Structure 1
Amino acid sequence: MQRTPLDAERLRRERVPFFTRLDVVETTGSTNADLIARAVADPAADREVLLAELQESGRGRHARAWGSPPRTQISVSVLVRLAGVDPAVLGWLPLLTGVAVVDAVRAAACVPAELKWPNDVLVGGRKLAGILAEVAVAGPDPAVVVGVGLNAELTAAELPVPHATSLVLEGATVDRTTMAGALLAAFAERFAAWRDTGWDTADLAAAYRARCGTIGARVRAELPGGRELIGIATDVDVAGRLLVGAEAVSAGDVTHLRPAG
């Protein structure tokens, strides 16, 4: 199947001023790994974008493999430095990215996406996109790379798992270049707004709650150590942890369950 490549020149021409650099490569191991290496090598590297038509060693949360045929996903990573951020709120960056992806998908593709905690992007319960944030340089002004893998033109036969979906399977006709540009613009707007508040999470948390289908749902959380927690997800706390009953969940797989009874 012939698929149209990303239009790198158009993305550079139309990129919002927030970003200082934007590159598109045909193949790489991992866009996250590439930008982590760049952040370590260059202390001035900031607000840089890397997209790949094919990732050969893409990763999701919990080191899960994340891949697809060439030119079927939007595989993009962004390097940002968070000067003076409180480490306690650093976990909000991948949640912010989830909000940006949902907003971009709704606006550019007219697909009713929502979030599953912490940052999976779903449509009708099926996974459309995954997000992974990794600290490249720790310290008071950390450099963090956040990557997004968005299923764009995958056919049903090409889906990595049965519970996934793609933009084309949801009836969207938006091209990948337009979608990538919308995603980056939404991220830039959200990140700049968060930075300008001095990393205050109040507005970001409100935006996240409004887009998160996990809040209010009955869930099962598979926690580290093999423990399982079942209950109603009521909220997220100031650190972005999911509140299930009286317990705050900071890591683990969460499954939406049918209501009891």
Structure 2
Amino acid sequence: MADNRDPGPAAGPGLWTDLDRAPLDGRAITRALVSGPRASWAEVTVVPRTGSTNADLLAAAPTAADRTAVIADVQDAGRGRHSRSFTAPPRSQVTVSALVRLPGIAPDVVGWMPLLTGITVVDVLRSVCEVDAVLKWPNDVLLTGDRAPGKVAGILVEVAAGSPVMTVVAGVGINVTPTAAELPVATATSLRAAGAAVLDRGTIARAFLRAFGSAVDDWRDSGWDTAALAQLYRARCDTLGRSVRVTMPGEVVLVGTATDVDAHGRIVVAPEDGSEPVAVSAGDVTHLRPVVDTGE
């Protein structure tokens, strides 16, 4: 097992300078997830530093075991949707990627994996960190409420090439301890800023991997049924009922009310001009105003 300590520039060997951002305990994480009584993962590697945990697992995908995960203390070249950069101060985030194989899944159903991952992150942040987490379609994780609302986590799910069984790598980055000055944009937030009950990155990473593995198992056992998954997603999606602006590929802009998430995971928008609803499979969503109270 590699030494997970990552000394700061002013530290000597084996030391770090920020006591609030101590290195992850790779041995404890591996024991809990791989060899302990609640083991559910084949291999979990905690690395001191890497460019991208997703890139690492995609490269290893042809020979990696199902349920292989990589967690990075420091990630230098993280990627979000549309190849956007994803960076944060050292040891201030949970950055984890998980490889799962999906035998028998239909290709047109794999698009639900980013949404399933989002459901899992929301549930972990609610139950473990005790914050008000919701989803913005398709899989941005937001914190709501009066204290430091904003985007707290990003998700990138990619299909791995070179495997006979459908294989995906789900990458998650959660802002744990960045201060307001350290956040990349004004619309971002962190668990610390929101007053989360738990800020231990190892605890959060373990909880996510356990919950994610269980969620994939449940979905597999259902025969990859999307109806129940869609219901779980709708219950956590803060986009539904809102007036939204969707910027689609080709810079096409749609403004209207988000009314549903359909069987394919697409957001359904009723245009403000009264024309027929549009099911959007890809686009950037901006929430324009709060959810309308229908009185129901």
Q: TM-score, normalised by structure 1?
A: 0.95
1:100-115 equivalent positions in 2, closer than 5 A: 100-115=120-135
Verify the 8 A CA contact 2:242 2:291 in the aligned structure 1: no
Verify the 8 A CA contact 2:241 2:291 in the aligned structure 1: no
Match of 1:33 among 31, 36, 55: 55
CA offset at residue 173 of structure 1?
3.8
What's the RMSD between the two structures over aligned residues? 1.6
SS at match of 1:95: helix
**Counterpart amino acid of residue 254 in structure 2:** L
1:75-154 equivalent positions in 2, closer than 5 A: 75-124=95-144, 125-137=149-161, 141-154=165-178
Separation in 2 of the partners of 1:260 and 1:115? 13
Partner of 2:248: 223
Q: Percent identity?
A: 55
The farther-off stretch of 236-245 and 130-139 is 130-139
Separation in 2 of the partners of 1:151 and 1:219? 25
Change (3 A) 1:119 1:259: closer
Separation in 1 of the partners of 2:201 and 2:234? 28
Separation in 2 of the partners of 1:140 and 1:89? 17
Report whether the alignment pairs 1:249 with 2:267: no
Verify the 8 A CA contact 1:92 1:240 in the aligned structure 2: yes
Verify the 8 A CA contact 1:217 1:232 in the aligned structure 2: yes
Partner of 2:26: 8
1:20-59 equivalent positions in 2, closer than 5 A: 20-40=42-62, 42=63, 45-59=65-79
Report whether the alignment pairs 1:177 with 2:213: no
**Counterpart amino acid of residue 87 in structure 2:** G
Separation in 2 of the partners of 1:243 and 1:222? 14
SS at match of 1:13: helix
SS at match of 1:187: helix
Report whether the alignment pairs 1:187 with 2:209: no
Verify the 8 A CA contact 2:245 2:286 in the aligned structure 1: yes
Separation in 2 of the partners of 1:259 and 1:151? 24
**Counterpart amino acid of residue 56 in structure 2:** D
Verify the 8 A CA contact 1:152 1:176 in the aligned structure 2: yes
Q: Between the two structures, name the one with larger relative contact order (CA 8 Å, sep ≥ 6).
A: 1
Partner of 2:274: none
Count of residues in correspondence between the two structures: 259
Separation in 2 of the partners of 1:110 and 1:137? 37
Verify the 8 A CA contact 1:27 1:53 in the aligned structure 2: yes
Partner of 1:258: 289
Separation in 2 of the partners of 1:54 and 1:223? 33
SS at match of 1:179: helix
**Counterpart amino acid of residue 158 in structure 1:** E
SS at match of 1:91: helix
SS at match of 2:160: strand
Deviation per residue, 1:184-215 (Å, 9 max, x gap): 12111111100111111121111110000011
CA offset at residue 238 of structure 1?
1.1
CA offset at residue 17 of structure 1?
3.2
Verify the 8 A CA contact 1:31 1:55 in the aligned structure 2: yes
CA offset at residue 256 of structure 1?
0.5
SS at match of 1:130: strand
Q: Structure 2: any 5+ residue segments left out of the alignment? A: 1-17, 271-276
Change (3 A) 1:140 1:247: farther
CA offset at residue 105 of structure 1?
0.3
Match of 1:161 among 185, 190, 198: 185
Q: Which is greater in Rg? A: 2
